[in-house]
Amino acid sequence: MEVKIGVQHAPREIVLESGQSVEEVERLVSEALAGKTQLLSLQDEKGRKVLVPTDRLAYVEIGEPTVRKVGFGAL
């Protein structure tokens, strides 16, 4: 699923494809915003981690699972 993270004072958002469930991502974001951690830590589909300081979070957008299209369209 696609996760977009807005970071304060950054010109672009962070976009990653995560293999984590919607519920897990939502729980991690909620814990970070509640002050339980100082970093929001998410993992992408390739195993890389994205760490964002919670005091810099502007927003987190959790998208639907992405469906990969295969083939070519005919006009």
pLDDT in tens, 33-64: 998 889 999 999 999 999 999 999 999 999 87
Instruction: Determine contact, residues 42/24, Cβ cutoff 8 Å.
Output: no
Burial degree of 68 (CB within 10 A; 0-12, 13-18, 19+) = exposed
- Domain count across the chain: 1
How far apart CA 62 and CA 12 sit, in angstroms, is: 17
The CATH number of residue 12's host domain is 2.30.30
Higher confidence at residue 63 or residue 68?
63
Residue 42 lies in a domain: yes
Residue 37 lies in a domain: yes
Q: Is the pTM of this model over 0.85?
A: no
Domain holding 6, by residue range, is 2-62
Residue-wise pLDDT tens digits, 10-37: 999 999 999 889 999 999 999 999 988 8
Confidence (pLDDT) at 74: 63
